[in-house]
Amino acid sequence: MSVAQASTGQLKDAIGARVDALRPELERIGHDIHANPEIGYEERRAVAWLTELLKKHGFSVDVGIANTPTAFVATRRNGTGPTVAFLSEYDALRGLGHGCGHNLIATASAGAGIALADALDRTPGRVLVIGTPAEEGGGGKIRLIRAGIFQEVDAAMMFHPDTRTQVLHWALAVTHMHFEFIGRAAHASGDPEKGINALDAFVLAYNGISLLRQQVKDGARLHGFLKEGGTAPNIIPERTSGEFLVRARDQAYMEELVQKVKNIFQAAALATGCSLKLTFDEEPYVDLRNNGVLARLFEENLRRVGLDPVEGVPWENAGSTDMGNVSHVVPALHPTLSIASADVAGHSQAFLEASGSPRGYQAMADAAKALAMTGADLLADPSLVEQAKVEFRRT
């Protein structure tokens, strides 16, 4: 072992010990976020708890970046060197709370940032913890990209809870669409011919989308729900509304499918005589790019903390994330760590419970250590940063 390797090893041991010392604070905040779920762009308490912790540990914190009250950047710097960012998510699912484990993501990234920043006297550079709201619809990271927050970031990293521990992660491009059909109310028995049935329009659209599913490429997903379908059985529904997601493995095919789904909605409106309003979230999420240099470093550090990742199957159980958009801007890493058995579904009550369990918080601590150690590799050897950038430009 070289002197440099021995020094880096000692640094990583110190990082692991630092996360262990931080763990009570991280768990307390994680439990608070879990017990007080806040949906996208409403995560005020989570932001207050996280930024208070980061300020306590020497970070300068700017809240409300990108004209978004629940987004923040926390910074610690010592000298010149690479900039490593850990991304913190803390929004909850509508109706389910932290059934995706964002309480663990938030605290793991904060812990990784603090542990790495405390080592800046030995590995100069800049450490950021970036608070990114509204991942579960709303695209908080996209707002931050537009505002230039990632312009000086050399590598962006976070972890996601899952039922498997794996380094490489695949995520689908997705467009979030909102629909509204407007018809005309009438007595469903006495004057049915005077009505225009907005529920019929939705039924036609839903069936059209269901038929389209047979004709899509592998990995594409079309799914949604009806939010408003009428008010009483004896009134022809005047208004229906809801949401649909269109997903695919790449942005170009997603956009092709979006046009087909729009055509289906428009045809349903024409067939029933309804008017149609389609609206879209700010910008689609794009597919996630895995950076092989960061992935190799992270895998080594996972093994250092005692975890043996499985080899991921491309596109298996793939969802979507606005971290995909970040991965098209800077070299990025988005691994998963297991917090539940393989039979547990994401976005479920069982996963919600796992997100607040001892196993969940152990994964949070392990992720914080491995993320911070990967950051230490980059700060200690800036040539690794350049290798990651070369691969990023190539892919």
pLDDT in tens, 159-186: 999 999 999 999 999 999 999 999 999 9
For residues 369 and 19, the answer to whether their CB atoms sit within 8 Å is yes
Tokens of 89: 């998510």
Closest CA to 22 of 43, 60, 50: 50
Three-state secondary structure call for residue 122:
coil
> Would you place residue 5 in the very low, low, confident or very high pLDDT band (cuts 50, 70, 90)?
low
Q: What is the CB neighbour count within 10 angstroms for residue 114?
A: 29
Helix 358-380 / helix 292-304 crossing angle, nearest 10 deg: 120
What is the rounded CA–CA span in Å between residue 181 and residue 269? 7
pTM of the predicted structure, to 2 decimals: 0.94
Q: Give the whole-angstrom CA distance, residue 301 versus residue 372.
A: 9
Tell me the three state secondary structure of residue 231.
Answer: coil
d(CA 85, CA 107): 14
pLDDT in tens, 341-366: 999 999 999 999 999 999 999 999 99
180: three-class secondary structure by DSSP: strand
Strand partners of residue 259: none
Share of residues in the chain with pLDDT > 90 (%): 96
Task: Give residues with Cβ within 8 angstroms of 30, minimum separation 6.
Answer: 103, 104, 106, 107, 356, 361, 364
Rounded CA separation 322/6 (Å): 37
Residues 88, 149: Cα–Cα separation, whole Å: 14
Domain boundaries defined on the chain: 3-171+285-394, 173-280
Contact indicator for 123, 78 with CB cutoff of 8 Å: no
Q: Which of 290, 249, 285 is nearest to 134 (CA)?
A: 285
Query: How far is it, in rounded angstroms, from Cα 196 to Cα 261?
Result: 22
> Residue 6: pLDDT band by 50, 70, 90 thresholds?
low
The pLDDT > 70 percentage for the chain reads 98
Rounded CA gap, 332 and 368, in Å? 16
**Cβ–Cβ < 8 Å for 352, 189:** no
* CATH match of 3-171+285-394 with 1.10.150.120: no
Overall average pLDDT of the 318-332 stretch: 97
What is the model's pLDDT at position 4? Answer: 56
Question: Residue 343: helix, strand or coil by DSSP?
Answer: coil
Which residues have C-beta within 8 Å of that of residue 38, sequence separation ≥ 6? 44, 45, 46, 90, 91, 92
In the predicted model, what is the mean pLDDT of the chain? 96
Per-residue tokens: 125: 């550079």
CA dist., res. 37 & res. 103, Å (int): 9
Asked whether the predicted pLDDT for residue 40 surpasses 70, the reply is yes
Contact predicate 158/294, CB 8 Å: no
Domain 173-280 has CATH 2.60.40.10: no
Q: Is 141 helix (H, G, I), strand (E, B) or coil?
A: helix
With 50 as the cut, is the pLDDT of residue 226 above it?
Answer: yes
pLDDT given for residue 3 in this prediction: 43
Interval 112-155: pLDDT, tens: 999 999 999 999 999 999 999 999 999 999 999 999 999 999 99
DSSP state of 277: E
pLDDT at 2 over 80: no
